[in-house]
Structure formats: structure tokens, C-alpha cells
Amino acid sequence: MVYLCSMSKYIFYCFLWVSLTVPVSLLGQRNYYDYAAEDMQTIYFDDFDDETSTKFWTGKNREHKGKIKYGQYLFKSVAMGLKPSYTAPRFDLDPSRDFTIEMMLSCNGNDYGLVWGQDKSLERFYTFNLIKRGFVIKNEKEVIIRGKIKKLVVEWNKITLRKVADTYYFFVNEQLVYELPYEVISDIRIGIGTPGWKVFVDYFGVHYLGEKRRLRD
């Protein structure tokens, strides 16, 4: 009996030590609702209520078309075939801080989503796209994962990328679908990508993350 009590105390103090020594940013980040709006510092947000955008390109050329109408941003690839296409403006983002990127979007196809990377031509990049009944994450070299999603809906879907400490967390419709080690990307560009489809974006936001709700409360 004394042995069991001693073991119980040992386990309790080990748990307490871990709780106190693990960095705050690593506790509970897998839950979408750990961060509320007041926990974030806005770097950029656009709900496209105006017909102009300070970041996203509008116009038409041989390969792309971009316009804002009815409170949505439309990006379309007009090139022949399913050639990868993107619009990715530059953001002044401190790579040492925790941040989140989120957008609500819809598409007339099944391969569309978020692109982010470095350099003018996005020579180092990632894509986080929705596909039929699932998602795919790629970098400039390979497909990292193809996965299924339980809560993927037909029309509008929410994509969220969070960088917390040294890990990327990928959410679709507030459901965690994947984790990936964070790779530092400076001089970052962030935007929308699709190979040959028409993408509608209801809002697009980039924010720094502060202290989590449950730790703050």
C-alpha cells in the first residue's frame, strides 16, 4: 500500500514537472478552439467587401484572371491544361513568431487551396490543397501526404495553417488533419493556388498568435 502511494505521488510530480517545463506554445495547439480572435494580432485581413485589394492581384493576362465581386475574390487559371497556377503576394512575416493563415474558399474543381513559399518564383514552397474527399500537402520536391477528410463539404470550406513553435498544424473546417515539422521561410509569399480551376475566396487572413485562451483564462 505504501509502495502504491509512493508510485502515485511520483507519477503526479512527474506530470506536474512536465506541465511546468513544456513551453506554453506546445500545450493544446492541436485544438482549433485553443485560440480566439483576441489571442491574435492581425497582419493582414481581407473580406473583399471593396472592389480593390491591397494584396491580391486583379486583372487578366494570358494565364490568370483575378477580380473582386459580390464580396468575394475570384482567381482563375485561363492557361490551357491543368498547369499549376497561383497568386501569392509577399508578406512581412517574422518567421520566429507563431502565426496562422486562414481562408474560406470554394471552387468549381477538386484541387485548390493555400500556397506559401520563398523567392519570386516560389522555388521553395508548400501547397495545402483540397481534393475530392480529402486533402494533399506538397512541397517543391514531392507529395508529403494525401489524406481523407470527414468534414469536407461541397461548397465552402475553411483552410487553416498554424505555425506553433517548430511545427505546422493543418486544419480543414476546424478539424486537425496533419502535422509537419516547421521549415523556416523568410521573405515569405502566401496565397491561393490551383491547377486550372476557378477559386472563390470569401475571406483571407494572416495573424500572429498570442497566448492560448485556456492558459490566459
Domain boundaries, the chain: 24-216
Tell me the pLDDT of the chain (217 aa) as tens digits. Answer: 444 344 444 433 443 333 333 344 444 468 898 888 888 999 999 999 988 888 999 998 888 889 999 999 999 877 655 567 888 999 989 989 999 999 999 998 888 999 998 765 656 789 999 998 899 999 888 999 999 887 666 689 999 999 999 999 999 999 999 999 998 887 899 999 888 788 999 999 999 998 765 554 4
pLDDT at 67: 94
Cβ atoms within 10 Å, residue 201: 23
**Amino acid making up residue 15:** F
Instruction: Report the distance separating Cα 213 and Cα 217, nearest Å.
Output: 6
Q: How many helices (H) and strands (E) does the chain have?
A: 2, 15
pLDDT at 119: 66
Question: Cα–chain-centroid distance for residue 74?
Answer: 19
pLDDT at 154: 67
pLDDT at 168: 95
Cβ atoms within 10 Å, residue 62: 7
pLDDT at 10: 40
From 45, 76, 71, 42, select the one nearest 59 (Cα to Cα): 76
Question: Cα–chain-centroid distance for residue 15?
Answer: 32
pTM over 0.75: yes
CATH topology of domain 24-216: Jelly Rolls (2.60.120)
pLDDT at 22: 35
pLDDT at 187: 82
pLDDT at 1: 46
